[in-house]
Structure 1
Amino acid sequence: MTPQPQLNILIVEDEDATRFLCETLLKQEGYFVASVATLQQGQEQLAQTRFDLLLLDLNLPDADGLQLA
Protein backbone atom coordinates (compact mmCIF):
# COMPACT_ATOMS: atom_id res chain seq x y z
CA MET A 1 0.00 0.00 0.00
CA THR A 2 1.31 3.47 -0.87
CA PRO A 3 1.72 5.72 2.19
CA GLN A 4 -0.62 8.68 2.25
CA PRO A 5 0.84 12.17 2.53
CA GLN A 6 0.50 13.70 5.96
CA LEU A 7 -2.21 16.36 5.95
CA ASN A 8 -2.13 19.45 8.16
CA ILE A 9 -5.39 20.11 10.00
CA LEU A 10 -6.33 23.11 12.12
CA ILE A 11 -9.10 22.72 14.69
CA VAL A 12 -10.72 25.90 16.02
CA GLU A 13 -13.03 24.88 18.86
CA ASP A 14 -13.66 26.60 22.19
CA GLU A 15 -14.95 23.50 24.02
CA ASP A 16 -11.89 21.84 25.55
CA ALA A 17 -13.27 18.29 25.55
CA THR A 18 -14.42 18.45 21.93
CA ARG A 19 -11.13 19.98 20.78
CA PHE A 20 -9.11 17.35 22.68
CA LEU A 21 -11.20 14.46 21.31
CA CYS A 22 -10.95 15.63 17.69
CA GLU A 23 -7.23 16.29 18.01
CA THR A 24 -6.55 12.90 19.60
CA LEU A 25 -8.54 10.92 17.03
CA LEU A 26 -6.98 12.70 14.07
CA LYS A 27 -3.44 12.31 15.42
CA GLN A 28 -4.06 8.58 15.90
CA GLU A 29 -4.86 8.42 12.18
CA GLY A 30 -1.52 10.03 11.34
CA TYR A 31 -2.55 13.61 10.67
CA PHE A 32 -0.60 16.64 11.86
CA VAL A 33 -3.07 18.57 14.02
CA ALA A 34 -2.92 22.03 15.54
CA SER A 35 -5.79 23.05 17.76
CA VAL A 36 -6.78 26.40 19.22
CA ALA A 37 -9.70 27.83 21.18
CA THR A 38 -10.28 31.27 19.64
CA LEU A 39 -10.59 32.94 16.26
CA GLN A 40 -7.55 35.10 16.98
CA GLN A 41 -5.42 32.04 17.75
CA GLY A 42 -6.68 30.46 14.52
CA GLN A 43 -5.65 33.52 12.53
CA GLU A 44 -2.18 33.38 14.09
CA GLN A 45 -1.83 29.70 13.18
CA LEU A 46 -2.94 30.35 9.60
CA ALA A 47 -0.35 33.12 9.27
CA GLN A 48 2.41 30.67 10.27
CA THR A 49 1.38 27.37 8.70
CA ARG A 50 -0.32 26.10 5.55
CA PHE A 51 -3.24 23.84 6.46
CA ASP A 52 -5.01 21.38 4.20
CA LEU A 53 -8.21 21.34 6.25
CA LEU A 54 -9.87 23.66 8.78
CA LEU A 55 -12.40 22.31 11.29
CA LEU A 56 -14.23 25.35 12.61
CA ASP A 57 -16.69 25.87 15.42
CA LEU A 58 -19.32 28.28 14.10
CA ASN A 59 -20.12 29.67 17.56
CA LEU A 60 -16.83 30.87 19.01
CA PRO A 61 -16.84 33.25 21.97
CA ASP A 62 -14.83 35.92 20.13
CA ALA A 63 -16.44 35.68 16.66
CA ASP A 64 -18.24 33.57 14.09
CA GLY A 65 -15.96 30.75 12.94
CA LEU A 66 -16.80 31.47 9.30
CA GLN A 67 -14.84 34.72 9.57
CA LEU A 68 -11.69 32.60 9.61
CA ALA A 69 -12.56 30.84 6.37
Structure 2
Amino acid sequence: MFDEFCKIFLNGHGYENYKKLQSFGIAKYLLNLEKKYSGNKVYDESFKNTDKRYRDGKSITPGSFLQQSYGQG
Protein backbone atom coordinates (compact mmCIF):
# COMPACT_ATOMS: atom_id res chain seq x y z
CA MET A 1 0.00 0.00 0.00
CA PHE A 2 2.89 2.34 0.78
CA ASP A 3 4.36 1.89 -2.71
CA GLU A 4 0.97 2.53 -4.31
CA PHE A 5 0.56 5.71 -2.25
CA CYS A 6 3.91 6.94 -3.57
CA LYS A 7 2.99 6.09 -7.17
CA ILE A 8 -0.34 7.90 -6.97
CA PHE A 9 0.56 10.98 -4.95
CA LEU A 10 4.29 11.65 -5.26
CA ASN A 11 4.76 11.67 -9.03
CA GLY A 12 3.99 15.28 -9.88
CA HIS A 13 0.29 14.60 -10.43
CA GLY A 14 -0.78 14.13 -6.82
CA TYR A 15 -3.30 16.97 -6.75
CA GLU A 16 -4.95 15.83 -9.97
CA ASN A 17 -5.09 12.22 -8.74
CA TYR A 18 -6.44 13.33 -5.35
CA LYS A 19 -9.28 15.25 -7.02
CA LYS A 20 -10.12 12.26 -9.23
CA LEU A 21 -10.23 9.96 -6.21
CA GLN A 22 -12.47 12.45 -4.41
CA SER A 23 -14.85 12.57 -7.37
CA PHE A 24 -15.14 8.77 -7.23
CA GLY A 25 -15.71 8.92 -3.46
CA ILE A 26 -12.72 6.74 -2.59
CA ALA A 27 -10.13 9.26 -1.37
CA LYS A 28 -11.44 8.82 2.17
CA TYR A 29 -10.44 5.15 2.08
CA LEU A 30 -6.87 5.87 1.02
CA LEU A 31 -6.18 8.96 3.10
CA ASN A 32 -6.99 9.83 6.66
CA LEU A 33 -9.14 12.83 5.80
CA GLU A 34 -9.66 14.26 9.24
CA LYS A 35 -12.95 16.00 9.86
CA LYS A 36 -11.21 18.97 11.46
CA TYR A 37 -9.64 19.70 8.06
CA SER A 38 -12.76 19.17 5.96
CA GLY A 39 -13.84 22.24 4.08
CA ASN A 40 -10.42 23.87 4.12
CA LYS A 41 -7.47 23.68 1.79
CA VAL A 42 -4.85 21.81 3.85
CA TYR A 43 -4.85 18.72 1.65
CA ASP A 44 -5.21 20.70 -1.59
CA GLU A 45 -2.23 22.87 -0.69
CA SER A 46 -0.15 19.89 0.43
CA PHE A 47 -0.68 18.12 -2.89
CA LYS A 48 -0.03 21.31 -4.86
CA ASN A 49 3.17 22.00 -2.91
CA THR A 50 4.37 18.43 -3.39
CA ASP A 51 3.64 18.60 -7.14
CA LYS A 52 5.58 21.87 -7.35
CA ARG A 53 8.55 20.32 -5.57
CA TYR A 54 8.47 17.50 -8.11
CA ARG A 55 8.38 19.92 -11.06
CA ASP A 56 11.21 21.97 -9.53
CA GLY A 57 13.37 18.84 -9.21
CA LYS A 58 13.43 19.00 -5.41
CA SER A 59 13.39 15.93 -3.23
CA ILE A 60 10.04 14.45 -2.32
CA THR A 61 9.39 11.97 0.44
CA PRO A 62 6.16 10.67 1.92
CA GLY A 63 7.28 12.29 5.16
CA SER A 64 7.44 15.74 3.59
CA PHE A 65 3.90 15.37 2.28
CA LEU A 66 2.57 14.05 5.58
CA GLN A 67 4.31 16.82 7.51
CA GLN A 68 2.53 19.39 5.36
CA SER A 69 -0.81 17.63 5.77
CA TYR A 70 -0.71 16.95 9.47
CA GLY A 71 1.76 19.59 10.62
CA GLN A 72 -0.82 22.32 10.17
CA GLY A 73 -3.67 22.52 12.51
Q: TM-score, normalised by structure 2?
A: 0.32
Structure with bigger helix share is 2
Q: TM-score, normalised by structure 1?
A: 0.34
Rg (Cα) greater in structure: 1
